[in-house]
């Protein structure tokens, strides 16, 4: 059964004229602020709009904000004081991501119903236990909770029930029975599965156990199909002409781009670098002269290795913090002493030192207003403070710990200070990837031998 697309009957309002007195222009450097109850300057922009229900003037409020561990979004809310009509929705303020994302959440306890959820209009929501699905583009985007998603679906199904009962429609009784099952889910009498599949990659489900791994939540990134590309309105780029081969090892290439923070024009520098005892990598750095934002990213310059790599370093001395480190986008990081695990694609690719990566992890975990705000759980707040203190002890060399890098693609690297001899504190393991790991890397469907014969037969 699919939920009715009539949950959002229409747009919140047609803009007539902005009110300068109510909507002061925000500072360009702080257009998207993180959600914070203590930020008094973060106020919504109010625009007088036409109500599409009674055709009187109502008020639309727009809030440009940033979700922790996610990205920028636009929250809009419309209300009409004449007829009482109101409507809310969200829109992603960023671009369509390179890959789609699928969140699979096993709801076991009532606390799971309070998880924050960002659902875009291109996301499909499914509950397999009830054979229930909300198709893509049938609802507007929403910033809500798991319980809010179910309540929204119930409202959509109940909307046309009076008309069905008046017409003695046979489906009215079946829909009533199904609504009862949805309401039972909100009590969490038994576990159920919630799947949010977004080809645009802009949906999000909160992990309330950060910085620990969430066993109830599985996040899968995947390559979009041709049908999903067309659904999102993305066109395939025409194949570029093959340029003449040039030696780029001694050159720094520059190309124009936009700053991810203020969207001002900026330049990105790209350089091909050979890492000793490893391989070639591509380092890209962007520096915005308008807002001062700086970012760098590392891409592997070679192919996926035949075997995965697991590097285990026993941190015993402060000098270990100076080791060079290359973390690819496919690499996960684990610190068993802190019960901490950093998944693939988080923090992106980085070429830094061990100290630099640990500081980035500490900043990612501790600067989360969802877990440190006024509504945060005191126990969770204590765990985060304890995590930060232990991380500082590791960085200062006052606490021994194991640092594990697991890269199924084999494109990550940790400096061996004893090279070319073996490092007594570092263990490098090569392992055969599992089917699921090959699936995440897109290798199961990749054919590298005998593909010429298959193309010839198709012609």
Could you give the domains of the chain?
31-94 (2.20.25.420), 97-232 (2.60.120.1040), 249-302 (2.20.25.420), 306-369+380-445 (2.60.120.1040)
pLDDT in tens, 170-220: 888 889 999 999 999 999 989 999 999 999 888 889 888 877 888 899 999
Lowest-confidence segment of 48-62, 245-259, 395-409 by average pLDDT? 245-259
Phi first, then psi, for residue 258 (nearest 5°) are: -115, 145
Q: Is the pLDDT higher at 368 or at 127?
A: 127
Mean pLDDT, the chain, whole residue set: 80
Asked if pLDDT for residue 127 goes beyond 90, the answer is: yes
pLDDT at 71: 60
Lowest-confidence segment of 176-180, 245-249, 268-272, 408-412 by average pLDDT? 245-249
Question: Which one, of 56, 47, 44, 52, lies nearest residue 8 by Cα?
Answer: 52
Phi first, then psi, for residue 296 (nearest 5°) are: -140, 155
pLDDT at 247: 59
pLDDT in tens, 147-174: 999 998 998 888 888 888 888 888 888 8
Question: Which one, of 215, 219, 218, lies nearest residue 108 by Cα?
Answer: 215
d(CA 267, CA 288): 7
Q: Is the pLDDT higher at 376 or at 178?
A: 178
Place of tokens 């009532």: 110
d(CA 284, CA 105): 35
């Amino acid at each position: 059964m699919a939920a009715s697309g009539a949950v959002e009957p229409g747009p919140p309002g047609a803009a007539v004229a902005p009110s300068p007195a109510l909507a002061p222009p925000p500072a360009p450097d702080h257009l998207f602020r993180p959600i914070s109850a203590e930020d008094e300057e973060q106020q919504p922009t109010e625009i007088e709009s036409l109500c599409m229900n009674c055709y009187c003037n109502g008020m639309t409020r727009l809030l440009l904000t940033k979700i922790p561990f996610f990205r920028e979004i636009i929250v809009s809310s419309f209300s009409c004081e004449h007829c009482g009509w109101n409507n809310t929705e969200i829109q992603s303020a960023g671009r369509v991501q390179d890959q789609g994302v699928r969140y699979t959440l096993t709801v076991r306890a009532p606390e799971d119903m309070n998880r924050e959820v960002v659902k875009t209009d291109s996301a499909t929501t499914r509950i397999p236990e009830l054979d229930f699905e909300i198709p893509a583009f049938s609802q507007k985007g929403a910033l809500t909770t798991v319980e809010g998603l179910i309540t929204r679906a119930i409202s959509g199904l109940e909307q046309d029930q009076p008309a069905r009962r008046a017409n003695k429609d046979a489906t009215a009784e079946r829909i009533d029975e199904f609504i009862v099952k949805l309401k039972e889910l909100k009590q969490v009498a038994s576990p159920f599965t919630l799947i949010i599949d977004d080809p645009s990659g802009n949906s999000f489900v909160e992990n309330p156990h950060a910085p620990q791994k969430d066993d109830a939540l599985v996040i899968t990134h995947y390559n979009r199909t041709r049908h999903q590309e067309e659904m999102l309105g993305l066109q395939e780029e025409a194949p570029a002409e093959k340029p003449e081969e040039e030696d780029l090892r001694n050159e720094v290439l520059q190309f124009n781009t936009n700053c991810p923070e203020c969207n001002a024009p900026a330049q990105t520098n790209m350089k091909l670098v050979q890492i000793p005892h490893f391989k070639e990598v591509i380092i890209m750095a962007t520096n915005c002269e308008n807002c001062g934002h700086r970012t760098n990213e590392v891409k592997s310059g070679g192919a996926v290795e035949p075997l995965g790599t697991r590097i285990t370093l026993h941190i015993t001395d402060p000098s270990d913090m100076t080791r060079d480190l290359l973390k690819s986008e496919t690499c996960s990081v684990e610190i068993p002493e802190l019960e901490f695990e950093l998944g693939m694609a988080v923090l992106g690719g980085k070429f830094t030192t061990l100290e630099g990566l640990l500081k980035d992890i500490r900043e990612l975990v501790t600067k989360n207003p969802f877990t440190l705000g006024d509504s945060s759980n005191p126990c969770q707040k204590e765990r985060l403070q304890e995590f930060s203190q232990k991380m500082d002890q590791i960085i200062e060399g006052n606490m021994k710990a194991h640092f594990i890098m697991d890269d199924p693609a084999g494109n990550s690297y940790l400096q061996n200070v004893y090279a070319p001899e073996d490092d007594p504190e570092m263990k490098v393991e090569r392992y055969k990837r599992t089917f699921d790991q090959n699936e995440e890397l897109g290798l199961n469907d990749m054919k590298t031998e005998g593909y010429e014969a298959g193309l010839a037969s198709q012609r």
